[in-house]
Amino acid sequence: MNIERVAVIGTGMMGPGIAAVVALAGYDVMLIGERPDWAAEGVAKTFAVMDQLLANGLTTPAAHSSAKTRGHGTADFDAAVQDVQLVIEAVYENLELKQQLFERLDHLTAPDVILATNTSGLSITAISARTTHRARCATTHFWMPPYLVPLVEVVMSPDTSEQTAQTLL
């Protein structure tokens, strides 16, 4: 699968940093906040990360400028996950909340859209338990802070397809 557009859910500790990494890697990214002001604050944090990386010589002016054109934010959850190939959930560590998000995403997105969680301690098998298309679910655990630590732990469930695994790796 070819990834071009990514949605990142969550504007707290991890979401904006993940969105910055995704945009700097050349993908269009939509950062989803629960409320419009949270989405706006999340994008501001994302751009602040990019600015910090530029100021410290960790990205080029061209990459910085280009990434800023690819970073967007919204509180319109349903619209934001349309026409993406990858959704990364980065909300707080609550199994019920993550299950609800994955169940909702399972209904809103095409069956081949990859659903990833940034969990650091919950099982992807448990998180994806309410989904119909479990083959597309995996963990992509970005280490903190994601824009400085170039490490993403990718964890598959017994249900994760080889295509999902290869796309994420």
Query: Taking each helix axis from N to C terminus, what angle separates 36-55 and 61-70, rounded to the nearest 10 degrees?
Result: 170
DSSP state of 112: T
What domains are defined for the chain? 5-168 (3.40.50.720)
Q: Provide the token pair at 37.
A: 């002001």
Q: Distance between CA atoms of 84 and 96, rounded to whole angstroms?
A: 24
pTM, to two decimals: 0.95
pLDDT digits (tens, 9 = 90+) for 2-14: 999 999 999 999 9
Helix (H, G, I), strand (E, B) or coil at 48: helix
Q: Are 127 and 94 in contact (CB under 8 A)?
A: no
Q: Provide the token pair at 114.
A: 């990859």
Q: Are 159 and 128 in contact (CB under 8 A)?
A: yes
User: Is the Cα torsion angle 148, 3, 119, 79 positive or negative in sign?
Assistant: positive
**Residue 167, Cβ neighbours under 10 Å: how many?**
17
pLDDT digits (tens, 9 = 90+) for 111-152: 999 999 999 999 999 999 999 999 999 999 999 999 999 999
